[in-house]
A and B are shown apart, each in its own frame.
Chain A
Amino acid sequence: MKTRFVNTALPVALLGILGLSWEASVHFFKIPSYILPGPWKIVRVMWQRMDLLAAHAVVTLTEIGLGFWLALVVGLTLAVLIHSSRIIERSFLPLIISSQTIPVFAIAPLLILWFGYGIGSKVVMTAIIVFFPIVINTVEGLKAADPDTLALLKILEASPGQVFFKVRVPQSLPFVFSGIKIGVAVSVIGAVIGEWVGAREGLGYLMIHANAQLQVELVFASIFWLSILGMGLYGLVVVLERLLVPWRHGESNK
């Protein structure tokens, strides 16, 4: 309990110190707010323009959410297929890995062309980024089953289905969650890049728009919102992991 308190208090304190020195430097060096506004001003804008920011945040969050589900469904399915067949593994895995050398930024204009200015292209972009860590980690997790445990199941005359659902799936869950955590951390990038390249709404769009009008406070306010979204999603995944993988939590508690 005490370490938990310290673990929370330390970063919060550091954040406070950084914020204060930011505020102080802005005043001390007389930096104009169209170059760098102080955090206080940003927070005030966040409050004043709450409705605007929230409306755009909802759009971005929807894109992330849908993109994430798409990545999860496709990623888990593909991982199971890769695990179940050598041929699929040998043909798909190298392509999936080498596909990661293509920067998402490079194909963003194409995705806009194919999936439109609306939410579709952003969903796809998010899915493309998130999908990779989920596939790789899940494949790893499905392979991780202990050979002695598998032998035990064989002696108990378990069917392949029973081996899969009673051993392989639970065994892979911590791996899947590692993949999801990495995916969540980068999912915001996918949505924002999509909105930069072409959109009519969303926090990424708002940033570009505000930047063009030298409303730098609003740019920062959008960034703050994005980071809050990212942290919130990460927190959600951590809570889900505790619920679905309670044994792992118990282990780390020891």
Chain B
Amino acid sequence: MPFSHAGKAVFYMKNHGSDSLIQVEDLSKAFSRGSDTLQVLQQISLSAGPGELIAIIGPSGCGKSTFFNILAGLLSSDSGSISLNGKKVPHLRGRMAYMQQKDLLLPWRNTLDNAILGMEIQGEHKRLAREQARDLLITFGLEGFGDRYPQELSGGMRQRVALMRTILCKKDILLLDEPFGALDAITRSIMQKWLLKVWGQFEPSILLVTHDVDEALLLADRIYVMTSRPASIKGSLQVELERPRKITKPDMVNCKEYLLELLEDELAVPEP
């Protein structure tokens, strides 16, 4: 057991109590194609408190995106429930903003106009929205790039525009689905720092899906480990280490070892 540092890193097997903002209970989902049924999610339960940064890690293709699509209301679940502030809701749409690995910037809109897409759709006045976005350009390291088109920006910058659009939706819940998965290692590590900065400034609750154990450890308050398909929660880990964290610190190494152990079965090469 690598957990001699109890108190700094404890692991949770149970959900939080009543102070949770989002509570997911026993969420299951199967897809059927013809006579075949493919169980994708099996009784997923997790919770997130207000302002918490929650990471969900698991092998690629385990159904993390399906889970997010259910939370976003793009898919419906077969069974289980989602609660918001203790009240059951069909999905979190309207309360959450969503960001994916693909930046999904509109090529005909410049940085500012891409960033205000959410506000614009919510009916905010375009000029006022632009003013607010312009004030935030510095925060997102995009000063001087407000009138550039996405094609003229680097991958990291494009992702920051997407992050800015997500933040400017002004929702208290952010679902981030492998937001930095398509970036190179150096850009990704810079983006993780941006995310922490922005999180500190706007204090949303964040659900972050990633398959990068280091990323989860560097960012999250609590980490849930998912099994491969059908996905269920195998365990969770409360990471109570001060930020900024360094992946090489002994505490972090311990946490990582624990997570990798949990993931080990999932990462095994299947027998032929």
User: Are B98 and A250 within 8 A (Cβ)?
Assistant: no
A149, A152, A246, A251 — most chain B CB neighbours (10 Å): A152
Given A166-B121, A167-B106: A250 in contact with B74 (beta carbons within 8 A): no
Interface of B (DSSP majority class): loop
B108, B118, B120, B152 — most chain A CB neighbours (10 Å): B108
User: Are A247 and B73 within 8 A (Cβ)?
Assistant: no
User: Are B104 and A149 within 8 A (Cβ)?
Assistant: yes
Q: Which of B102, B106, B121 contacts A157 (CB 8 A)?
A: B121
Q: Which of A155, A157, A247 contacts B108 (CB 8 A)?
A: A247
Q: Which of A152, A167, A245 contacts B98 (CB 8 A)?
A: A152
A149, A166, A254 — most chain B CB neighbours (10 Å): A166
B72, B94, B96, B106 — most chain A CB neighbours (10 Å): B106
Using Cβ atoms and an 8 Å threshold, which residues of chain B touch A245? 108
Given A148-B104, A152-B104, A162-B121: A247 in contact with B151 (beta carbons within 8 A): yes
Q: Which residue of A lies closest to B74 (CB)?
A: A151
The yes or no answer to B93 lying at the interface (CB within 8 A) is yes
User: Are A156 and B118 within 8 A (Cβ)?
Assistant: yes
Given A156-B118, A250-B152: A149 in contact with B169 (beta carbons within 8 A): no
Kindly supply a per-residue 1/0 record for chain B positions 80-118, scoring 1 wherever the CB is within 8 Å of any chain A CB and 0 otherwise: 000000000000011011101010101110000000011
**Bound-complex Cα distance A172 to B72 (A):** 27
Please give the distance in Å from A121's CB to the nearest CB on chain B: 39
The yes or no answer to A154 lying at the interface (CB within 8 A) is yes
Using Cβ atoms and an 8 Å threshold, which residues of chain B touch A170? 106, 108
Q: Which of B72, B102, B121, B151 contacts A153 (CB 8 A)?
A: B121
Q: Which chain A residues (141-169) contact chain B, with CB distance < 8 Å?
A: 146, 148-149, 151-158, 162, 166-167
Q: Which chain B residues (122-137) contact chain A, with CB distance < 8 Å?
A: 122
The yes or no answer to B149 lying at the interface (CB within 8 A) is yes
Q: Which of B94, B96, B107, B122 contacts A251 (CB 8 A)?
A: B107
Given A149-B104, A167-B106, A251-B107: A155 in contact with B151 (beta carbons within 8 A): no
**Bound-complex Cα distance A76 to B108 (A):** 20
Q: Which chain B residues (37-77) contact chain A, with CB distance < 8 Å?
A: 72-74
**Bound-complex Cα distance A151 to B93 (A):** 12
Please give the distance in Å from B79's CB to the nearest CB on chain A: 23
**Bound-complex Cα distance A245 to B108 (A):** 7
Using Cβ atoms and an 8 Å threshold, which residues of chain A touch B169? 156
**Bound-complex Cα distance A250 to B111 (A):** 14
User: Are B93 and A247 within 8 A (Cβ)?
Assistant: no
Interface size of B in residues (CB-CB distance below 8 Å) = 23
**Bound-complex Cα distance A253 to B43 (A):** 51
User: Are B94 and A157 within 8 A (Cβ)?
Assistant: yes
User: Are B151 and A250 within 8 A (Cβ)?
Assistant: yes
User: Are A146 and B104 within 8 A (Cβ)?
Assistant: yes
Using Cβ atoms and an 8 Å threshold, which residues of chain B touch A151? 74
User: Are A158 and B152 within 8 A (Cβ)?
Assistant: no
**Bound-complex Cα distance A155 to B174 (A):** 12
Given A245-B108, A247-B151: A166 in contact with B117 (beta carbons within 8 A): yes
Q: Which residue of A lies closest to B99 (CB)?
A: A152
User: Are A148 and B102 within 8 A (Cβ)?
Assistant: yes
**Bound-complex Cα distance A158 to B121 (A):** 6
User: Are B73 and A155 within 8 A (Cβ)?
Assistant: yes
Given A149-B104, A245-B108: A155 in contact with B93 (beta carbons within 8 A): yes
Q: Which residue of B lies closest to A173 (CB)?
A: B108
A149, A155, A250 — most chain B CB neighbours (10 Å): A155
User: Are A149 and B106 within 8 A (Cβ)?
Assistant: yes
A149, A156, A246, A250 — most chain B CB neighbours (10 Å): A156
Which residues of B pack against A, CB within 8 Å? Answer: 72-74, 93-94, 96-98, 100, 102, 104, 106-108, 117-118, 120-122, 149, 151-152, 169
Can you sample 18 A-B contacts with CB below 8 Å?
A146-B104, A148-B100, A148-B102, A149-B106, A155-B98, A156-B117, A157-B122, A158-B121, A162-B121, A166-B106, A167-B106, A173-B108, A245-B108, A248-B107, A250-B149, A250-B151, A251-B107, A251-B149
Closest 8 CB pairs of A and B: A170-B108, A158-B121, A247-B108, A156-B121, A251-B151, A247-B149, A247-B107, A155-B98
